[in-house]
């Protein structure tokens, strides 16, 4: 966490081990920021999630956490037991950030696209209807169309 974030004015909670040691407390105190220590077993990530749950969060979005079964089992980390238990406790409240981005993809309906095209065409027609150069070009196209129609009539008559 950057120094600017620590100084932003929010309540700072520093994870402390069960024996009371808090490795991050010295850095926070050096910055002159008041902090509350939270002694508990487990990883700092787990403590943050449990604290959010305890304070009544209805949804917890995790960014950069251990999400897959391979990460749980293959890393061989000592804190993985607390991570597993934390995730069991949080249940459906915990969502990975990748999952949130997949849930809330902006979807544009076909009707909205159709209305957008119609509105764009109406704006173009309105702009061309009041433009003098556009009216001149329209007259040229009208004359070319009339010439084409007369040519077709001559061929088939």
What pLDDT score was predicted for residue 153? 92
What pLDDT score was predicted for residue 74? 66
**Among 77, 49, 43, residue whose Cα is nearest residue 62:** 49
Q: Where are the domains of the chain?
A: 3-103, 110-156
Residue 57 neighbours by CB under 8 Å, 6+ apart? 93
Indicate the Cα dihedral angle 70, 49, 100, 91, nearest 10°: 70
pTM higher than 0.85: no
For residues 43 and 79, the answer to whether their CB atoms sit within 8 Å is yes
List average pLDDT for each run of 10 residues in the chain, which is 157 residues long.
84 86 88 88 84 90 75 67 83 82 78 95 90 87 94 89
């Amino acid at each position: 966490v950057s120094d600017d974030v620590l100084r932003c004015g929010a309540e700072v909670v520093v994870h402390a081990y069960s024996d009371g040691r808090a490795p991050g407390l010295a850095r926070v105190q050096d910055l002159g920021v008041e902090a509350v220590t939270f002694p508990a077993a487990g990883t700092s990530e787990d403590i943050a999630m449990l604290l959010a749950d305890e304070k009544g969060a209805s949804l917890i979005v995790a960014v950069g956490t251990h999400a897959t079964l391979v990460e749980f089992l293959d890393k061989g980390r000592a804190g993985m037991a607390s991570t597993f238990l934390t995730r069991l406790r949080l249940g459906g409240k915990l969502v990975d950030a990748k999952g949130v981005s997949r849930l809330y993809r902006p979807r544009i309906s076909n009707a909205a696209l159709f209305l957008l095209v119609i509105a764009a065409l109406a704006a173009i027609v309105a702009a061309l209807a009041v433009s003098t150069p556009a009216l001149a070009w329209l007259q040229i196209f009208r004359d070319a169309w009339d010439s084409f129609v007369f040519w077709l009539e001559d061929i088939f008559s």
